[in-house]
Structure 1
Amino acid sequence: MTSVKDFSVERAATADALGRGRFVFTDAYSIFDWGRMPDTIPEKGRSLCAMGAHNFSLLESEGISTHYRGVVDDGSVVDLAETDEPPREMAIDLAQVPDLPVENGTYDYGAFHAEAGDNYLIPLEIVFRNAVPRGSSLRSRRDPDEVGLDVVEWPDEPVRLPEPVVEFSTKFEEQDRYLAREETDAIAGRATLDELAALAREVNRVVTERADDAGLAHEDGKIECLYHDGEVRVADVVGTFDENRFSYDGHEISKEVLRQYHKRTQPAWVGAVSAAKEEIENVDGTDWRALCESDPDPLAEDVIATASDLYTAGANAYIGRKLFDAPDLDGAVETARTLE
């Protein structure tokens, strides 16, 4: 479980009532579940905050309930359209997040829900996929015919799916796991899987339509949700270059660029991460990073600058407003091709 957002509580959630808090979007980044990497990407946090706020406003306009309250501008909570500066903080409603006990690598969701009651952050990520790009984990877990494709083997190039695929994975565990339906149902608690899947498809539709209007291809993404008083709301943040994969003219403009760059330039570290994740399955415990035999190296300054331009130029295009001082998206993507 990793995050590059900081989090503050203004009023704690209770068994009966939502609380209030704020996300602070940092310029840190994380890949392969490592946690915060050695570098920061300038303006990354603000670009994610702006994209997330824009998407929450779109969802609310479609009647989809969320935990979003606005962005923070000079101490006040306002709509994104009311500020001229890229925001770094987002105001949100909070649900309870009980402890998830773990013993010998086994997580006790029964104890989580006993404390959660009727107001909790659902300990799942609901993943939706419109395409299967290079690097997608779906390629290693499912055969093409299982997701509606009329081929025997996965082709090397990205593949569009005939219909979006929805999957469920763990949220609070040390290493994400994709789940079968029976286990997912128990982890979801009072929320139903059909409701969560339908909500994910609606969010996917809204983000995909906005991406299409901006000239982007929306490949996949996820939502997280809270459950309060019988209602499921979209939580965390939605439709950013960290939570979702987007491409432009066939080139990735999401965090996937940094994943693939590390695979190419730091294969020993990427291999050590994979080995540690496999090894932890055979020992008692959950901290696979302690078993990793190497750490990631910092990025070169030109790589950091290229990544920053991708985030900010992409955010400008998606929002439809030049909120950031960034090159146009064509120029940013052309430069980023050198990282492929």
Structure 2
Amino acid sequence: MGSVKDLIVLREPQDDSAGVGRFIFSDRYSVFDWGEMPDHIVEKGKATCIMAAYFFEKLEKSGIMTHYLGIVEDEKARRLDELKEPEDIMEFRLLKVIKPGIQGDTYDYSAYRKTRGNFLIPLEIIYRNSLPEGSSVFKRLKEGSLRLEDIGLKDIPHEGQVLDKPILDVSTKLEVTDRYTTWDEAKEISNLSDDEIDEIKSVTLQIDDLITNEAKKIGLFNEDGKVEFGFDAERNLMLVDTPGTLDECRFTYDNLPVSKEVARIYYRKTGWYKDVEFAKNQDRLNWKRSVKSSPPPLPEELADSIALMYQACANELTGRRWFDAPPIKEVLNTIRSLI
């Protein structure tokens, strides 16, 4: 499936009906589109699975359609309150994934004009409630690939700026490297109508609002995050993938990252990261082939603290002690001293 989740297909999706799949949440993690990093984060898979299930169940209660069926325990998909122990397998309705073709150095999305429903929309939708240090917005504004009017701002923003209202961004999902794009291009390549784009934006804002409020209850600020959607066989919009986890969102506590951004901060100081950035600028499609170095392992104490961060968040968000982890504030104080 990818660098952090594996996929089991129980029933293949058809043109007129969804299939059934299972995500196996691993302890692997990825940064900068590299794929699997050298370390594993202990119990990350189970903690991430619990967090995603918590938000799916909350969002469904609010009326948002999702592909979630439950967490698998004893080979049965169960709701969170039915589980005896944390598990790392989630069952869901499986949609078709239609990968764009490649013509030269461009992508061909023409297949989406021939498909009505039951497929993954090839976009990632990013919501931003603030612009923390490291946000791609600053880099893109500097390069000129993003304009202030594209994100509804009049003045150049500053690092750490909390926005008056969320900004919505969009990127490709199924290309070799995720690529920010305009809403007009997103509509064109995915064969979406104006109403469908409006619905995607509206539902994303609802999801953002719910995640933000839930995070606030445990002292976290939801800086930004990403969501993905698909259509069912009748072309009804459906939330897919795994919302609200520390991999999909950038949470902070008193300006300290509470996400895999902690690992990104460490790796930005390495020569490997410089090699990755140089390679991406040289060849957008095949940049990995040009990276000569490999990422070094995380320092042991930092890796252990990141693991406890995932576990503590799952405990406190759900109000249930799934893992033997200290309070999240204690874990974060340790991380702050390390980075």
> Residue 261 of structure 1: CA displacement?
1.2
Q: Which residue in 2 is equivalent to 1:215?
A: 219
- Give the Cα separation in 1 of the matches to 2:180 and 2:292: 26
* Matching of residue 246 in structure 1 with residue 248 in structure 2: no
Q: TM-score, normalised by structure 1?
A: 0.93
> Residue 317 of structure 1: CA displacement?
1.8
Q: Which residue in 2 is equivalent to 1:279?
A: 282
Q: Which residue in 2 is equivalent to 1:97?
A: 97
Where structure 2 has 5 or more consecutive residues not aligned to the other structure, the ranges are none
Q: Which residue in 2 is equivalent to 1:83?
A: 83
Q: Which residue in 2 is equivalent to 1:7?
A: 7
Contact 1:130 1:161 in 2 (8 A): yes
Greater mean deviation of Cα atoms: 295-304 or 225-234: 295-304
Contact 1:144 1:150 in 2 (8 A): no
- Give the Cα separation in 1 of the matches to 2:40 and 2:298: 9
Q: Which residue in 1 is equivalent to 2:129?
A: 130
- Give the Cα separation in 2 of the matches to 1:324 and 1:195: 38
> Residue 260 of structure 1: CA displacement?
0.7
Q: Which residue in 2 is equivalent to 1:163?
A: 165
Q: Which residue in 2 is equivalent to 1:188?
A: 190
Q: Which residue in 1 is equivalent to 2:297?
A: 298
Where structure 1 has 5 or more consecutive residues not aligned to the other structure, the ranges are none
Q: Deviations over 1:102-125 (max 9, x none)?
A: 1222111003443x4322100000
Contact 1:149 1:162 in 2 (8 A): no
- Give the Cα separation in 2 of the matches to 1:292 and 1:130: 33
- Give the Cα separation in 2 of the matches to 1:172 and 1:113: 16
Q: Deviations over 1:128-163 (max 9, x none)?
A: 0101111110112238954566754x434x111110
Contact 1:2 1:30 in 2 (8 A): no
- Give the Cα separation in 2 of the matches to 1:118 and 1:55: 25
Q: TM-score, normalised by structure 2?
A: 0.93
> Residue 16 of structure 1: CA displacement?
0.4
Aligned residue-pair number: 331
Q: 1:1-340 to 2 correspondence within 5 Å?
A: 2-114=2-114, 116-142=115-141, 146=149, 147=151, 151-152=155-156, 154-156=157-159, 158-190=160-192, 192-228=196-232, 229-264=234-269, 266=270, 268-281=271-284, 286-340=285-339
Q: Deviations over 1:204-238 (max 9, x none)?
A: 01111111122211110011011121200000010
Q: Deviations over 1:160-217 (max 9, x none)?
A: 1110001110000011111112211112224621111111111101111111122211
> Residue 291 of structure 1: CA displacement?
1.0
- Give the Cα separation in 2 of the matches to 1:131 and 1:51: 22
For residue 35 of structure 2, give the secondary structure of its aligned residue in structure 1.
coil
- Give the Cα separation in 2 of the matches to 1:177 and 1:99: 15
Distance 1:2 1:339, change over 3 A: farther
Task: Give, as a single letter, the amino acid of the residue that structure 1 aligns with 2:208.
Answer: N
For residue 41 of structure 1, give the secondary structure of its aligned residue in structure 2.
coil
Task: Give, as a single letter, the amino acid of the residue that structure 2 aligns with 1:54.
Answer: Y
